[in-house]
Amino acid sequence: MTTALTGRGVGRTARAAREPDGTAPPARPKRTWAPYLFISPFYVLYVLFMLVPVGVSLWLSLTEWVGLGTPRWVGLRNYRLLATDISFHRALGNTAVFVLVAVCVIVPLALLIAQALNTRGLRARDLWRTAYFVPIVVSPILVALVFGLFFDRQFGLLNSVLRALFGTGGVDWLGDPELAKVSIGLVMLWRWTGYLTIFFLAGLQAVPRELYESAALDGAGRLRTFSTVTLSALKPVTAFVVVTSFIGAAQIFEEPYLLTGGGPAESTLSVSMFIYRAAFERQQFGYAAAAAVVLFVLVFGLSQLFNRVLGIGRAAA
């Protein structure tokens, strides 16, 4: 900062010194639009595809619109109806469960797997990494198809295994309201854990070895080393993974839509599915927009809270 100020001061002094000589003051830089033109594509696209849709959604949420014709202004009616809509409450509750699974189960599991994959002397390390990463690249349609067969009550693989091992089967994995949630959680676990593991693995590889050596010299055990060295060093990565997992799970759509359709009895209906259903199955675009605004506010607000609590983007003290 000091250097910059000094530099500007020097420039000003030199100009003041020249002007009394009768020389013409240096020409003011010509106003040109070129730089703005060069950076404009991003902002034009940002406005068109980000700000305008958000603004339109907000406006749409205050109207009643079937998808054709002129929307009818209804003020806050959609929000009032949402406040008393049992389906929406169910969707919020289900989404909260999925968020908890993502943040409290998948993220810690991904960290443990990353720790295991980071072990010195692990054989076929690349094979393991690839194996964990593959589920995220598999098409969700295929995932739903395979897990649909896997979870089938009458003829599914899981029940067949249970029957063969324990003589009991017939568990209605996708038909029982509580088990359906568990099944969706298992699919989330299968799909997302490996993906998040990659982030933790990258973080672990950046932890200086000296820290572990120092901890060993201080007599720290494995648990102590993990909690004081590994977790501390991984704090920025963990914060990022937690927030992105939270945002992803709060907007979960593919898994419940393809596997259970939000059923049975709306027990796996997520807020994103609720919005989709209102707009594209029931032609209630204003109502769907209101639900989308509520979801946006919740996700944005809680993400900000996470950011503050976890200190994302703040330099380490």
Partner 1 sequence: MYPPIPQLPPPPAPVVPRRTLLRGALGLGAAGALAACGGESTTARTAGDVTLSLWTHDPGYQAFFTQGIPAADRATDFRYHLDVTRAGAADLVTKLLAQAVAGRGTPDTIGFEIGSFPRMLRGDIAPRLLHDFTADIAAVPGLEEDLLPARTAPYSQDGRVYAFDSDTPMVVYYYRDDLFTKYGVPKDTPTWEEFTELGARTHRDHGASLCVVSTAGSDVGQVVGSFQMLLYQRGGAFFDADQNLVLDSPEAEEVLRFLCDGLRTGFVVDISDYYGASMQTALKQGKVIGLPMAVWYKNYGLMPNVPEQKGRWRIRALPRFTDDGSTTATLGGTGFGVLTDKANTRAATEFLLATWLTHDGQVRRFTETGYLPTRRSVFEDPRLNAVRDEFCGGQRLFSLYRTLLPDVPAVHQSPDQPILFDVLAGNLLRAYHGDLTPRQALKQTAADFRDQAGR
Stretch that binds partner 1, among 14-22, 113-121, 148-156, 201-209 (CB under 8 A): 148-156
CB 157 within 8 A of CB 150: yes
Q: How far apart are CA 226 and CA 241, in angstroms?
A: 18
Q: How far is the CB of 54 from partner 1 (least distance, A)?
A: 19
Q: How far is the CB of 230 from partner 1 (least distance, A)?
A: 41
Q: How far is the CB of 259 from partner 1 (least distance, A)?
A: 6
Q: Which of residues 4-43 bind partner 1 (CB under 8 A)?
A: none
Q: Which of residues 271-310 bind partner 1 (CB under 8 A)?
A: 277, 280-284, 287
CB 266 within 8 A of CB 95: no
Return the number of the residue (47 or 202) whose C-beta is nearest partner 1.
47
Stretch that binds partner 1, among 7-15, 77-85, 217-225, 240-248 (CB under 8 A): 77-85
Q: How far is the CB of 52 from partner 1 (least distance, A)?
A: 15
Please report, in angstroms and rounded to a whole number, the separation of the first and last CA atoms in the chain: 21
Q: Which of residues 156-215 bind partner 1 (CB under 8 A)?
A: 156, 172, 174-176, 180
Which of 169, 236, 263, 311 touches partner 1 by CB under 8 A? 263
Stretch that binds partner 1, among 7-15, 105-113, 149-157, 215-223 (CB under 8 A): 149-157
- 94 lies in the binding site for partner 1 (CB under 8 A): no
Which of 35, 41, 69, 121 touches partner 1 by CB under 8 A? 69
Contact residues for partner 1, defined by CB under 8 A: 66-69, 78, 81, 85-87, 144, 148-149, 152-156, 172, 174-176, 180, 257-268, 277, 280-284, 287
